Structure 1
Amino acid sequence: MRQLYSFFIQVFEWLLPVLGFFSAKLKEFRQVRQGVFSRLKSDLNPGDQVIWVHAASLGEYEQAVPVLEELRKNYPTAKIVLTFFSPSGYTIRKNTPLADVVTYLPLDTPVNARKFVKLVNPKLVLFVKYEFWPNFLEELKTHDVHTLLISGIFRESQPFFKWYGSWMKQSLNTFRHFFLQNKESLKALKKMGFTNASVSGDTRFDRVSRQRTYDNSLQFIEDFKQDQLLLVCGSTWPEDEKLLIDFINSTSIKVVVAPHKIDAEQIADFIKQLKRKSVNYSDYKQKDLPEAEVLILNHVGLLTKVYAYADIAYVGGAAGTTGLHNILEPATFGIPIITGTHIDKFPEAQDLRRLAGLFTVSDATETETLLNKLVSEEDFRNQTGMIAGHFISSQTGATQEIMNYLNSQTLTA
């Protein structure tokens, strides 16, 4: 079955030049990977001690950050190679100081896997969460490379548990240890016969917890907020904005709206619905900010720091089917969180809702009622925020468990 999988991946790679004529995404997919091997040849030397960390996309990178920081401190002479599969991760973090080489992961063909592993020659490999590439894993196993999965998640809906994907279980033998997010994942792994696993938790909690220790100051937000309450609506989609628009138009507090997709047309449509004075981040003038009532954050990379100024947060993605975005970023600052109702695949959101640190809303009326309650009742707002903040602090420690394991091993990196 692996041979059949490899055959189809190889055919896809051969067809990419042709498919690129019909799809801009596939054209980009091919183009960004064309220079991977030459980049590795120029940036790595045969004698380098290399640690390879693979994060599928931006979310997995954020999970890897606290581990990358510790690897930098514990293995200062090692070179860190960071790979992404998705452009959303690579484009935003290609210049991160936490890695020496940042590049795309080539397609998972046997030839690519052999060439990549030979060039990188890693002494330690960490895969984040749940992206498994059988040929790369098989090649790492062939070379007996110390390979770990961190912040791993296993569900019985994954191919490993289906008749058509049982062959993929063999690739899991590559991992020396599985650091898992929850007990359900541990139970699922044990069902497949793996016992080299432990529940360490999710390194995202360490990542967001550390955010409080960084400099989160933003002068433009201070100029905008003044001494008023601030609602930050992060990573919103049109479905979320439909829930929020009535409240935004009727409230007197300041509001920041940070669309997940920076689409000029969609943003213009949203602004047309506003009855309050608004300004875009991309063209604001400092003198305009104090009088503005709604700030559209049409810029990537600032939202995490903006949450530090929020009194209430709405996190987008769960009003529709796109998927809930990061609730942990605002929670770490101890503020109440509101989302849409589609949180079934997000255990951290379900856990926080059970604790009453997060509320879900299904329509504009429900959204407006809840937000007005949070605005008018300070004790309710503070109590809800305190629950959210405590939830984060109680879940930290996964990074330290991973580093304790590495410190107990004989690693040459």
Structure 2
Amino acid sequence: MGPRQRRPTRLFNVFSRFPFWLYNAALTAGAPLWLSYYGARALRRRTSCRSLRERLACGLPCPPPPLIWLHCVSVGETLAGQPLAEALRERLPAARFAISTTTDAGQARAREQLAWMDARFHFPLDLPWVADRAVASLKPALVIILETEIWPNFLRACARRGVPVVLVNGRLSDRSFARYRRLGRGMGDLLRRFTLCLMQSAEDAERIRQLGAPAERVLMTGNLKYAPPNAAERARRDRIAADLQRQFGLGDGRPCIVAGSTVEGEEAILAEAFAWLRARPGLSRCRLLLAPRHPERFAAVARELQRRSRLVARRSQPGPDDERADVILLDTIGELVAAYRWADVAFIGGSLVPRGGHNILEPAAEGLPVVTGHHMENFRAILNRFRAADAIWQLAPGMPDELPAALATALETLLTDPARASGLGSRAKATWAAETGAVAATVAALESRILPSIPALGAIRGD
């Protein structure tokens, strides 16, 4: 049984080494900018009016206690948090659950995938009075934050009310680690406001200790993104995959490359590599399905592809020539994982330019050969496991003008050498399957270290 939680003293809140006064002054100075941004969105889109109210902690839903509040940034974190939330619901059947997200895309996915939850809303802005109002309104018994979302005023609001906050699936990229280290002891003061830090890897655990998190509150429980999908999610993917097949004629023998989560600067490289591929013997019928990371870039990417390719089809705009398209633009949210079903090779975006890469686990779980660029710093622990198993093709560092040829060579090799592609895909799937125990490890840590110290939750455990 873990130590019983005690209400932090006000001295801790007043004399923190973290410069709250400076942080809040900067937020206040930037108020005209973020108010203009959210106000303009509210005028353009009806749903953004609700979003703005939620971000200001106005009219938040208030389920009866005891409430577990799960916070996820966007789509990826929401998907990672889903199996954890469902495991906790099974363990705590009388508890209430709420989920907040930072992005609209994450909120849309939460409303679709986690409709059973008692409340779904946008995460409040990290202004002192907003954070205080949010915590006071919802009165959570426990807050669970995914993937190192550190909001100082929100953490302080929870500490003032004695609400335990647990960091789950935590990770620290090279960039984040370097940035947080500049805060010195102030960062340690913030991290001590987490009751427990459950990190993805031993390296992440060591880094958060170096930043000042108490060593006894840090555990390594693995990566929740390795968790296999449940039956409902598998059925959803099946429906989307079938619809994609009907619209675009996928799976008809034409080689297909799925490029997922691409960012600015990568579509031009992919288009050049793709044009080179289609000129190679046996690959003239090759197709490219491309999914940009950010929805606000869909229109710009469509124009870029149409300028370079003979026939481009858009998922959001069905047309009579979709089955003939050379390039397919997946300009929708939440369908990429289903699209991997039709890939012969997967490419992971955010890795050809210095953006830190994106998640390789979804195509790996499908048994696909996966290609990435050199920039995978944000997923180093995962990448290292796959590289150790010879389960991924990562391009070597090179000059920007060398990238199209290097990418085309990797894709051509895997498209024309079935044995090599199959071996790489099989090893990728085996590596993914060997790491799927993170949900059980996370729940076990919460049960042993957190739940016994929260009377409202301990009393309703489904033992």
**TM-score bucket (shorter structure):** 0.7 to 0.9
Deviation at 1:11, TM superposition (A): 1.9
> Whole-Å Cα distance in 1 between the matches of residues 58 and 20 of structure 2?
27
1:148–1:178 contact (8 Å) kept in structure 2 = yes
Give the match for residue 39 of structure 1: 59
Deviations 1:359-389 (A, max 9, x none): 2335222222222211121110100001111
- Structure 2 counterpart of 1:161, from 157, 181, 197: 181
Q: Which amino acid aligns with 2:307?
A: K
Offset, 1:82 = 1.4
Partners of 2:173 and 2:335 in 1: CA distance: 33
Aligned residue for 1:197? 218
Matched letter for residue 438 of structure 2: A
The answer to whether residue 440 in structure 2 is matched with residue 405 in structure 1 is: no
The two structures, once aligned, show a CA RMSD in angstroms of 3.1
Bigger Cα displacement from structure 2, 101-110 vs 27-36? 27-36
Residue 341 to residue 139, structure 1, CA distance change in 2 (3 Å):
same
Are 1:49 and 2:70 counterparts? no
CA distance in 1, matches of 2:442, 2:411: 40
Partner of 1:239: 266
Distance 1:211 1:295, change over 3 A: farther
Q: 1:64 aligns with which of 67, 73, 81?
A: 81
Instruction: Identify if the C-alpha distance between structure 1 residues 26 and 155 changes in structure 2 by more than 3 Å, giving closer, same or farther.
Output: farther
Quickly say closer, same or farther: Cα 1:232–1:247, change in 2 above 3 A. Answer: farther
Tell me the CA shift for residue 91 of structure 1: 4.7
Alignment of 1:44-193 (within 5 A): 44-45=62-63, 47-95=64-112, 96-154=114-172, 157-162=177-182, 164-191=183-210, 192=212, 193=214
Residue of 344, 349, 352 corresponding to 2:386: 352
The residue aligned with 2:12 is none
Q: Tell me by how many angstroms 1:320 deviates.
A: 1.7
Relative to 1, partners in 2 of residues 1:351 and 1:271: Cα closer, same or farther, differing over 3 Å? farther
Gaps of 5+ in 2: 1-17, 458-463
In 2, distance between residues paired with 1:22 and 1:98? 28
**Superimposed CA distance per residue, residues 233-265 of structure 1 (whole angstroms, 9 cap, x where no aligned partner):** 222244244243324533223332223344324
Provide structure 1 residue ranges, at least 5 long, that are not aligned to the other structure: none
Amino acid at match of 2:215: F
Q: Report what 1:316 is aligned to.
A: 349
Q: Quickly say closer, same or farther: Cα 1:388–1:4, change in 2 above 3 A.
A: same
Distance 2:119 2:416 in 1: 50
Alignment of 1:14-25 (within 5 A): 15-16=32-33, 20=36
Report the CA distance shift for 1:263/1:215 in structure 2 as closer, same or farther (over 3 A). closer
Supply the distance in 2 between the matched residues of 1:167 and 1:248 (Cα, whole angstroms).
52
2:362 to 320, 324, 329: 329
SS of alignment partner, residue 141 of structure 2: strand
Task: Determine helix, strand or coil for the equivalent of 1:34.
Answer: helix
- Decide which of 281, 284, 304 is 1:269's aligned counterpart: 304
Structure 2 CA distance for partners of 1:242 and 1:155, relative to 1, 3 Å? closer
TM value normalised by structure 2: 0.78
Q: Could you report, residue by residue, the CA deviation over 1:94-138 in whole angstroms, capped at 9, with x for unpaired residues?
A: 454153222222232332232221111111110111111222222
Return the letter of the residue paired with 1:399: V
Look up the equivalent residue of 2:146 and give its one-letter code: V
Sequence identity (%):
22
CA contact (8 A) 1:355 1:387 kept: yes
Asked whether the equivalents of residues 20 and 26 of structure 1 are also in contact (C-alpha less than 8 Å), the reply is no
C-alpha distance in structure 2 between counterparts of 1:133 and 1:226, whole Å: 45
Amino acid at match of 2:137: L
